[in-house]
Amino acid sequence: MDFNATTPVEPEVISAITEALCDAWGNPSSTYLPGLKAKGIMNQARDSIARMVGGKASDIIFTSGGTEANNMVFHSALEHFWKSRASAEGGQEENHQPNGKKVLPHVITSNVEHDSIRLTAEHLLKVGKADVTFLPVSKVTGRVEVEDVMAAMRPNTCLVTVMLANNETGVIMPIKDICQKVRSAKRSSSSPRVLLHTDAAQAIGKIRVDAQELGVDYMTIVGHKFYAPRIGALYANGPGVMTPVYPLLFGGGQERNFRPGTENTAMIAGLGKVNSANCQYFRFNSHFPGTDTLPNTCNVSILGQGLQGHRVLSTCRRLLASVGAACHSDRGDQPSHILLNCGIPYHVAINALRISVGKGTSRQDVDAVVEDLRDAVERLEQTD
């Protein structure tokens, strides 16, 4: 019972790794068949991981693990700070001292972070590369409080990094609220952009994680915490375009120059496989804070491309359900106007299933439906 330390690799993941080692041994940068096959497997994995965290395939950068991803975030935030300041002030060097006082990039983090965050921040502070505020968590809630983050903000703040879930207490941090407050804060035109990062190592695979809903610029993904191999990835919202990413390494240009080095195809294949094997994510569309709902009614979307509600239901072998009201059944390929009017995003609403149980529905029936849905989704993912 120490699964927060690491997890065993799922059998389906082992099969994907083995298959890649045997059949996709080519260099993904090569243009002949074995290389193209390796590239194709990587692209599938990238898309799978992106869907798992609510991003796009282009948002995923494969890394050796969470430590590297976290260090990339610090490096990118500081590089962006200096480049932005130099551009704003006519190309002055990073160690310029306006009014005789050196201005350093300021980072806000918590005092309960993983060592790959804590020690990196402490090192930058020690060598004079950054100012760092280590926010104490509340002794009442165990969380980083949003008000404390806002109170710590400075004109030179360039990065806020707070883990999504703590590895020892299990406390889930209010990342969405932090992001909303930081983005809405008034800042002078001369202040740098505040980049927002969460280390989601302990959360992915245990709770639903959607980077877009959280509002982060960066998210750290760690495979061995959710039954995948010991490899990782960095989610960056539009890397190099919307969100700055600067490489720690220089080399052959792999991963769009963000993370050079010949890719570990087999481990990447395993990381991508775990999404369909073990971490299918659901969005419950009828959960509204403070609102009671019928106990027999569940409106749920299975997130992912090609998993529209009508496709999932037509692939199921046992489940008989609908995507909305029976009187609107002729609109099966369109999302429910009711869900859209309730604020459910289009890409979520079009995947919706309405499941309503009756007095004769048993727990065994529910278990059978869950298994049927899982099988249907796996079949659709294999065909797409």
Q: Give the pairing of strands 232-236 and 297-302.
A: unpaired
Give the position of tokens 């992106």: 50
- Collapsing DSSP to helix, strand or coil, 60 comes out as strand
Beta carbons within 8 Å of 366's beta carbon, 6+ residues apart: 357
- Cβ atoms of 247 and 24 within 8 Å: the answer is no
Retrieve residue 383's tokens.
């065909």
CA gap 38, 32 in Å, rounded? 10
- Cβ atoms of 162 and 220 within 8 Å: the answer is no
CA gap 45, 253 in Å, rounded? 19
Of 174, 177, 154, the C-alpha closest to 164 is 174
Q: Which of 22, 279, 298, 327 is catalytic?
A: 327
Beta carbons within 8 Å of 367's beta carbon, 6+ residues apart: none
- The conformation of residue 8, written as its DSSP 8-state character, comes to P
- Is residue 327 annotated as part of the catalytic site, yes or no? yes
CA gap 12, 276 in Å, rounded? 9
Active site residue ranges: 327
